[in-house]
Amino acid sequence: MQQHKTAIFPGTFDPFTVGHANILSRALPMFDRIIVGVGKNAGKHPLLSPEERVARIRQLYADEPRVSVESYDNLTVDFARQMGAQYILRGLRSVRDFEYERDVAAMNLRLGGLETIMLFCDAQYASISSSVVRELIAYGHDVSEFIPSTPHNQR
Ligand code: ADP
């Protein structure tokens, strides 16, 4: 029997943006199952608790049985092993992301035998980051265009 292709999509997702949603939708045809791994450590000034981040993403993908959402606070390779995943999914916005992502991918291959699949983000999402969205919220700006609100299959 062929092994199911399972990927984890790790990140902080504080908050989950339309850029994250775009990567996840585009990766779905490539895998049997994608587990969104919400890292609990969101730095010093988190906007949302891990529970809130998980709940929001679950709601968006409630009608997509191939997507599940879990929080974790161990090493990504250990979380992937627990989940039975063979791949890590990441998005690349620009050369600024590149060197960091290359180093992390090399380490995850070395430590856990996990291949990282990276998708280039759509140009229209290249400037969207959770940190910019948090800053806009802090100054009372409307961020609805950056945050997915409708469930995955209704977009
Ligand atoms: P991390 O703190 O691990 O970078 P993030 O939640 O910021 O977690 O991002 C998770 C993943 O989503 C990363 O691979 C990141 O490069 C990617 N990503 C973030 N923003 C975008 C975007 N606007 N378009 C495409 N990919 C993105």
CB of 112 within 6 A of ligand 1: the answer is no
Q: Give the closest residue (by CA) to ligand 1 atom 17.
A: 91
**Nearest C-alpha to atom 1 of ligand 1 is from which residue?**
11
Q: How confident is the model over 54-102, as pLDDT tens digits?
A: 999 999 999 999 999 999 999 999 999 999 999 999 999 988 889 999 9
Q: Establish whether 33 is a catalytic residue.
A: no
The rounded Å distance from CA 11 to ligand 1 centre is 6
**What integer pLDDT is reported at residue 151 of this predicted model?**
72
Which residue in this structure is represented by tokens 């490539």? 30
115 compared with 152, residue with greater pLDDT: 115
Rounded-to-integer distance, Cα 20 and Cα 46, Å? 18
| Beta strand extents in the chain (DSSP E only) | 6-11, 33-39, 67-72, 87-92, 115-120
Inter-CA distances, 15 with 87, 95, 111, 125, 134, Å: 23, 23, 29, 15, 8
Which pLDDT belongs to residue 45? 79
| Predicted confidence band of residue 1 (pLDDT cuts 50, 70, 90) | low
Q: Looking at 56, 93, 134, 152, which residue is catalytic? A: 93
pLDDT reported for residue 120: 95
117-137 average pLDDT score = 95
What is the structure's pLDDT at 44? 67
Structure tokens at 11: 């990140």
Q: Which band of pLDDT confidence, cut at 50, 70 and 90, is reported for residue 139? A: very high
Rounded to 10 degrees, the C-alpha dihedral 54/56/60/62 comes to: 60
Q: Are 73 and 106 in contact (CB under 8 A)?
A: no
Q: Residue range 111-126: average pLDDT?
A: 95
pLDDT, average across residues 41-59: 89
| DSSP letters for 36-75 | EEEES---SS-SS-HHHHHHHHHHHTTT-TTEEEEEE-S-
8 A C-beta contact, residue 133 and residue 143: yes
Ligand 1 mutation target, pool 14, 18, 20, most atoms within 8 A of CB: 20
Q: Is the pLDDT of residue 134 over 90?
A: yes
Whether 129 is in the pocket of ligand 1, judged by its Cβ within 6 Å, is yes
User: In this predicted model, what pLDDT tens digit does every residue of 2-43 receive, in sequence order?
Assistant: 679 999 999 999 999 999 999 999 999 999 999 999 999 767
3-state secondary structure of 145: helix
